[in-house]
Chain A
Amino acid sequence: MSTTNPFEDVSDLDRKRTIGRVFVALCIASTMVGIVALVTLLADVIYESWGWLSLEFLTYPPSRFPESYLPGGRGAGIYPALVGSIFLIALTALFTVFLGVGAAIYLEEYAPDTRTTSLIEANIANLAGVPSIVYGLLGLAVFVRFARMGQSLLAGALTLTLLILPIVIVAAQEALRAVPDSQREAAYGVGATKWEVIRDVVLPAALPGIMTGTILSLSRAIGETAPILMVGAATSMFVAPDSLLGPFAAMPMQIFDWARLPQAEFQHVAAAGIVVLLTVLLAMNAVAIYIRYRFEADLP
């Protein structure tokens, strides 16, 4: 047996070092791809919208004439869609909070460890992977047609509710799971019933987590175009929606409508709409992060 010095072949080590350096460089470059894409996207949107975003843009209905959107024009903008989106999200929030938290409470606090329960949980995981346009078809067939709601605000909100429900349920489950069992047991110890424990102990403690999860899901819903397009969001609304069963406009749908118009000016109008949409999204995310930051420190 000959003894070879493993460190003798320095050139091999050098080669490995070079490979390692190239590899790290590739990995860093790949990481930069995502970051650069994000920066480019935001810069492009802001650049395209420059000069087209004004106060009038927020307070006037859309127009077929691109020059109306310019400062000094007759005034045109995103107002009905902005208000429509806010109504849509408020309604969706109302439905998802009740249904999502209710489902999460059942799964975390009540559900026996049976096949039915694991079926429900597997089903929720699968629902999260269904394309949003399929939810649009569901809303079209069930709410718009079968329940005769028509192409209404209510039908849109219910469709978005079903879309984000799986995400809200999972987020609420995590928040409920984070409440320590010792708190539940202490409440049982002083004679509380299960419902009293949930209402007075578990829910208040889990509320910040639930709210954060819900707001983040809602911020996904507000940007969704495909489901409300299938349900039939309007693109030529000149007033804010005024009834649950009336027609509605929404920001992503309005942006889609602008983006596919042939006149080059409407690209700028679409960009201005996107800036408004992203600002609302940013505000919602900021609130969610604030709630997490402000209240989560209080949990034991």
Chain B
Amino acid sequence: MSGTDLTRSATGVGGRTDSLVRYVFFACAALSVLTTVGIIVVLLEGSVEFFRTVSVFEFLTGTEWSPLIEPVSYGVLPLVWGTLVITVGSALIALPVGTATAIYLSEYANPGVRSVVKPILEVLAGIPTIVYGFFALSFITPQLQRVLPWEVGTFNAAAGAIVVGVMIIPMVSSLSEDAMHAVPDELREGAYGLGATRYEVSTDVVLPAAVSGILASYVLALSRAIGETMAVTLAAGMAPQFTTSPLEPIQTMTAYMVQIGISDVSVGSIGYQSLFAVGLTLFVMTFSMNVASIWIRSRYREEYR
């Protein structure tokens, strides 16, 4: 609200309650900043402990991750590789499917279809990730084993990538559709006036105009895939290894954290500390992607009035 503040509190009549209430509410809002600070401090503190034993260089460039079994080795790259396999695999599914869904909903579907399909897709985003993990184990992997001519493990990266891909479709489709919906009709009508077909309007006019929102949705969805935990733990297994075969088990950073979380690793041990080093790596990756998403949206946004 703007203008002169004529409320009683401004003239001191409101009394103590009013200023007290203000501070209470401010404290609530400040808690969110405190949460961020808490996350950073906790991750850094645990990591500092970890890096007293293991050099940062070994951690970031080592190609063997074996923190609990002798001979111990703390190279995080196999875990990063696992996360990368899942992220790229799920992107191969979610980005094209999500974008095409968004185009259909925004450019082709009539409002009735749109108002039914959009909430249905958003249900996908509301299903707990543990359910996707179960779905991968009980349906996707058996189907892969049935259809593919090669040997498919009980735990395999492909099943993990598929369920994570399905999980993030609504993020891509919903945010991209919002971006396409915001493109003003004048642009479409202008193109139609020049004789463009609906296909040309969709791909040559609407897509470029909405590109910032679409790219931002991609980055957000990938960030979500990187941080995805339970589905990949159940589906892709706990075998930290470099493998180019999506049919073999892998371990993501998040799955490693789960492995430590459910084992009885004692507090203060190197295994416990490694949680925070891996957590910090994960946080840095997702945080930079979230910042990138915001940057893309503001940098490449086309303003329409």
Report if A and B associate in a common complex. Answer: yes
Q: For the complex, what is the distance from the CA of A98 to the CA of B30, rounded to whole Å?
A: 14
Q: Is A74 an interface residue (CB 8 A)?
A: no
| Cross-chain contact A26 with B100 (CB below 8 angstroms) | yes
Give the chain A neighbours of B279 by CB distance below 8 A: 133-134, 137
A195–B32 CB distance below 8 A: no
Question: Nearest Cβ in chain B — how far from A20, in angstroms?
Answer: 4
Question: Which of A59-67, A75-83, A207-215, A224-232 lines the interface with chain B?
Answer: A224-232
Complex partner residue of A103 from B13, B28, B169, B283, CB under 8 angstroms: B28
Q: Chain B residues with Cβ under 8 A from A35's Cβ?
A: 117, 120-121
Q: Is A127 close to B, CB under 8 A? A: yes
In the bound complex, CA of A24 to CA of B103 (Å):
9
Shortest CB–CB separation between residue A298 and chain B, in angstroms? 23
Q: Are B126 and A194 within 8 A (Cβ)?
A: no
Cβ of B120: which chain A residues have Cβ within 8 Å of it?
34-35, 38
* Complex alpha-carbon distance, A33 and B102, angstroms: 13
Residues of A near B105 (CB, < 8 A) are: 31
| Band of interface residues on B | 35 or more
B residues touching A (Cβ–Cβ < 8 Å)? 1, 6-9, 13-15, 17-18, 21-22, 24-33, 35-36, 38-39, 42-43, 45-46, 96-101, 103-105, 108-109, 117, 120-121, 123-124, 126-135, 137-139, 166, 169-170, 173, 195, 197-200, 202-203, 220, 223-224, 226-230, 234, 254, 257-258, 261-262, 267, 275-276, 279, 282-283, 286-287, 289-291, 294
- Complex CA distance for A102 and B9, rounded to whole angstroms: 19
Overall SS of chain A's interface = helix
B199-A20 in contact (CB<8A): yes
Contact of A142 among B38, B117, B290 (CB under 8 A): B38
Given contacts A102-B29, A142-B38, contact A137 B257 (CB under 8 A): yes
A184 in contact with B1 given A20-B197, A195-B21, A271-B138 (CB within 8 Å): yes
Interface residues of A (CB under 8 A from B): 6, 16-17, 19-20, 23-24, 26-31, 33-35, 37-38, 40-41, 44-45, 48, 98-103, 105-107, 109-111, 119-120, 123-127, 129-138, 141-142, 145, 162, 165-166, 169, 181, 184, 188, 191-195, 197-198, 219-220, 223-226, 229-230, 232, 252, 255-256, 259-260, 267, 270-271, 274, 277-278, 281, 285
